[in-house]
Structure 1
């Protein structure tokens, strides 16, 4: 996995950890959990069936995790409208696993054993319990979001950010240890002169663990770190806001859910607390932030996002324009970075499949040869270069680039430099997921 994205995955997983007990755990998914995407059939033979597993109705709620699914479906719809994959349409089967391990296993069984999908694309599962079954069946899982360590554990799974781990199926990463880089913290120190950073978390195990990881990375980059923790049941955000002001914090990171973020920002607004940068991750990089932070304009003006994909508002780039046109045809009014990454995942699968048709036969083994090739993949420039390797030892340092955007009123998300040039060689810090 790309270094900082490993940490981002933990951040997204926090949402499940904080609310997991609220999720449904039934042994059988309702029929409404499954959908076959209707498509127009171009000439050229039987359709090629792919599956998309999403924790759409999980305890996280709303549309928090549906972006990759919607982006992938929009891409396949646009592909079919152009005649499909060399005249063969793509038939999309979706499954909502409800955010539970039982539901995920049910989705995997349904898609692999009953619907006989050729591959999975843009998986976004809070509990990827079915990953060992996918690996055992040798079904390529292309461009999934790494919300669990599965994409650094099992063969045949290809996360959207790549992986250098052995992926033997025995343990995540290297003997149970994953590694993340410090490029985000390096960026704000270098470009914004930030020296004092606050990390706010709940007194809850997953939240506190992620906060410790962030604080460790910040200290490795020379920051003075202000650790703040609030009670999950009765959080006193006003006290945190007052302390941020007293400690003269430059940049603010968090290990909380969206609701906690909003309440913290509202407390900061009430006390007139300002920071130079409030940093969020790819999951919250969407056009909905103006609404989410409507009662905290100070936070909104300081909001930054970082990730490994090109800003979905970078309309000067042709691949971004194509994405936005496809989402408009799909009726999507609000856009997000996860939608763009789902679109890129579908493109990645399509490019791999098309390479096989050029060789004369479409097989899963051929698709994986394309995914495993040494040349990095960029989805026409939508992704920072992605590659897979099976390194026996983790690298001590890595040269890593970063996509950065800042929210500006009236303009939305504005890219901060070219992502392929926002680069640094940073240390890799180990942690156990």
Structure 2
């Protein structure tokens, strides 16, 4: 699949901070009803959707809220314009607190009590209720694939698509997912990168993700330098000095934002200059100048890759609409992807409102399963959902790329629909 390495990196930092926090207990099976088709046209009133967010998770208040904010902004604007064929969208949000028991409680509240027709823009640390969402036949549209749920269950549709069978049980293909090496290919082809460093903590989640990145880099022919720091007492200055000594031109990591900022500061202090310090879509935000205020050189070597159009690309009509609607909220790439998820649901609902039964869970799900790519009106690298019995060995993959420039923000690098590569798909266990 196009997304799995990228999805794995999104919340590697969250896993690091939690240091193996347990999922928590689960609600009794009896608390969840069986499949229901949800409200129909005859069921009256607004279309009810749910948004589950780990807004008060242990990794901080802003870590997961971008998709929720973007989706809410979209629905507010949609309702101001008359809703979906005259029906407003009634949004029910739930904060699961970043725990498994909290997530199950949110699923119960939204699916069984509010009887939402769909979930939209899910962004959670522990999607413990995913099997219950699937069993109820509720389409979950445009969620962030932090864990393996979106490659495991039917009716769940991540913002990045999936080729996995998704029949329940083991994720991916027999418990193994696959990811491409397009990010590493991009920097090798476009910027001549040859020596890459992977920096991680001496913690299992961080080290595991670092090994995954290292495999991908080596598959693309890089010379790889691995650096590990103590989670409790990291010596970033020593790492930075080694990066300079070895002539590293590309730096990737498996650390949180704080760790990245401290590494960048150390790189500036020792004079380590690189072609690119690569981060991910979760850190594609408007707070870079503040987060990296002590590292001007490293800050201006920050690059980011993803699967959606840069939220700074206001030359694009859909981005301009997003930015206008987000006034008063912090713009970010995850917020744009939440907006795209809400657009996705709306397009499904509009197709269903033309039918005698109106918008039902089954109809929305059928729209998601209809085949063919979806781009959210140009905001996403075209997304597909298939159910392949065997994983692909190679795949043509496209990516969105931007770099930070003081005074300009995130500057797009090339067309996301042309930054494309045929790359190997490497197996890993999620």
* 1:399 alignment partner in structure 2: 396
Query: Which one of the candidate residues 385, 388, 399 is aligned to 1:388?
Result: 385
- Partner of 1:359: helix, strand, or coil? coil
Deviation at 1:11, TM superposition (A): 2.1
Please give the residue correspondences for 1:7-406 in structure 2 after superposition, counting only pairs within 5 Å: 7-20=5-18, 46-328=45-327, 331-332=328-329, 334-361=330-357, 362-406=359-403
Higher RCO (C-alpha 8 Å, min separation 6): 2
- Partner of 1:417: helix, strand, or coil? coil
* 1:35 alignment partner in structure 2: none
Deviation at 1:15, TM superposition (A): 2.7
Q: Which sits farther off after the overlay, 183-192 or 261-270?
A: 261-270
> How many pairs does the alignment contain?
414
Deviation at 1:8, TM superposition (A): 2.6
Query: Which one of the candidate residues 411, 414, 427 is aligned to 1:414?
Result: 411
Distance 1:263 1:15 in 2: 14
Deviation at 1:45, TM superposition (A): 5.0
For structure 1, list consecutive stretches of 5 or more residues without a partner in the other structure: 30-43
For structure 2, list consecutive stretches of 5 or more residues without a partner in the other structure: 28-42
Deviation at 1:137, TM superposition (A): 0.6
Deviation at 1:22, TM superposition (A): 9.7
Distance 1:22 1:98 in 2: 16
What TM-score results when the alignment is normalised by the length of structure 2? 0.94
- Partner of 1:266: helix, strand, or coil? helix
What TM-score results when the alignment is normalised by the length of structure 1? 0.93
Contact 1:25 1:103 survives alignment (8 Å)? no
Deviation at 1:12, TM superposition (A): 2.7
Q: Which sits farther off after the overlay, 178-187 or 55-64?
A: 55-64
Distance 1:92 1:404 in 2: 32
Deviation at 1:79, TM superposition (A): 0.3
Distance verdict in 2 for CA 1:153–1:409, change over 3 Å: same
Contact 2:10 2:281 survives alignment (8 Å)? no
Distance 1:188 1:407 in 2: 16
- Partner of 1:343: helix, strand, or coil? helix
Deviation at 1:360, TM superposition (A): 3.0
Deviation at 1:48, TM superposition (A): 1.0
Q: Which sits farther off after the overlay, 246-255 or 354-363?
A: 354-363
